[in-house]
Amino acid sequence: MTEGRSTSTLGAQPAASKKLLWVGWGMSALPVLLLLFSGVMKLIKPATVAEGFVHLGYPDNLALGIGIAELTSTVLYAIPRTAVLGAILLTGYLGGATASHVRIGEPFTMAIVMGVLVWGGLYLRDDRLRVLLPLRKEPAQR
């Protein structure tokens, strides 16, 4: 099965149009770019990153491990064959980011929006996900 282009063998949803694929990749590109930037910043760890970790209540020596996890999850998401695994890992990562901001009373909407973009983009670009989670029920066969 070609990623994002074939009709599923289950037959529940037709293949996505080229327009939906482009929208899906566009929705996916924003979190990929932002998470890659964020992960790289954790690896090079400028003073602002260290200050941010302390502000959130974490020791700054965790930046390397968290950055590696962030980059690995993001790369897995960007590769069509491993995108679902990457989305699942990013959901956990973004859930942790949400919890960290809630814990200290800061706005947390950015992590939620990123998660919606991750799954919304993947939904539009992957036929298998649309078959697994159809947005509407097909009429009963007679």
Each residue's pLDDT tens digit, 42-91: 999 999 999 999 999 999 999 999 999 999 999 999 999 999 999 999 99
pLDDT score for 85: 97
**CB count in 10 Å sphere of residue 16:** 21
pLDDT band with cut points at 50, 70 and 90 for residue 139: low
pLDDT score for 137: 65
Token reading at 22: 């482009």
pTM of the model: 0.82
**Could you give the CA distance from residue 33 to residue 81 in angstroms, rounded to a whole number?**
19
Q: Is the pLDDT confidence value at 127 over 90?
A: no
**Could you give the CA distance from residue 6 to residue 16 in angstroms, rounded to a whole number?**
8
Q: Is the pLDDT confidence value at 107 over 50?
A: yes
pLDDT digits (tens, 9 = 90+) for 3-49: 444 444 444 556 668 888 899 999 999 999 999 999 999 999 999 99
pLDDT score for 114: 97
pLDDT score for 46: 96
Q: Is the pLDDT confidence value at 123 over 80?
A: yes
* Residues sharing a CB contact under 8 Å with residue 85, sequence separation 6 or more, in sequence order: 76
pLDDT band with cut points at 50, 70 and 90 for residue 138: low
Tell me what the mean pLDDT of segment 100-107 comes to: 96
Q: What kind and span of H or E run contains 96?
A: helix 83-103
